[in-house]
């Protein structure tokens, strides 16, 4: 079984991939907003490291990776958390890089061997 089990968790934050929800702010995909609300267990309007770890469980990532994401995307504070826009950005980037990885991991074993240029090509075509 692969280290990334499937379209779980934040995949629903990608437009067109889940049940739509009302009350989304103007310009925000209703599905992304619905997923954010589902992850925001304490209804604070922010996603904490605990909530992010829960949301990313389906990706089989370490707790340290969730902390790394918050360190990268959240304002510096003693209790880092992210708002809707950053949550959507994380979900889209995670899904995009997972899709790129899967293209190389044809045996679905959870690891690949690739050259530095292949890695850069994956990043540039998906992120830039």
Q: Does a structural domain hold residue 4?
A: no
Q: In this structure, what DSSP letter does residue 75 have?
A: P
Per cent of the chain over pLDDT 90 is 35
Q: Does a structural domain hold residue 83?
A: yes
pLDDT in tens, 23-37: 888 988 899 899 899
Checking 104-110 for CB contacts under 8 A at 24+ apart, the result is: 105/2, 108/1, 108/2, 109/2, 110/1, 110/2, 110/3, 110/4
Quote the tokens at residue 23.
């009350």
Q: Does a structural domain hold residue 75?
A: yes
Q: Does a structural domain hold residue 2?
A: no
Residue 6 has pLDDT above 50, yes or no: no
Q: How far apart are CA 90 and CA 1, in angstroms?
A: 24
Tokens 């959240």 sit on residue = 74
Over its C-alpha atoms, the chain yields an Rg (Å, rounded) of 15
Q: Does a structural domain hold residue 1?
A: no
What is the CATH classification number for the domain harbouring 88?
1.10.238.10
- SS3 state at 82: strand
Q: Which domain holds residue 23?
A: 9-127
Q: Does a structural domain hold residue 112?
A: yes
Quote the tokens at residue 39.
């992850």
Average pLDDT over residues 44-71: 90
Q: What is the pLDDT of residue 18?
A: 38
Q: How far apart are CA 6 and CA 22, in angstroms?
A: 27
Q: What is the pLDDT of residue 13?
A: 39
Quote the tokens at residue 45.
């309007």
Number of structural domains the chain divides into: 1
């Amino acid at each position: 079984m692969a280290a990334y089990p499937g379209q779980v968790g934040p995949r629903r934050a990608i437009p067109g991939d889940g049940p739509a929800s009302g009350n989304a702010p103007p310009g925000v995909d209703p599905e992304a907003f619905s997923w954010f609300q589902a992850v925001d267990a304490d209804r604070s309007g922010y996603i904490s490291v605990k909530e992010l770890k829960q949301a990313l469980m389906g990706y089989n990532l370490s707790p340290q990776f969730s902390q790394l994401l918050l360190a990268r995307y959240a304002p510096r504070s003693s209790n880092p958390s992210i708002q809707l826009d950053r949550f959507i950005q994380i979900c889209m980037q995670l899904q995009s890089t997972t899709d790129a990885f899967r293209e190389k991991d044809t045996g679905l074993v959870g690891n690949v061997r690739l050259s530095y240029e292949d890695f850069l090509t994956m990043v540039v075509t998906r992120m830039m």
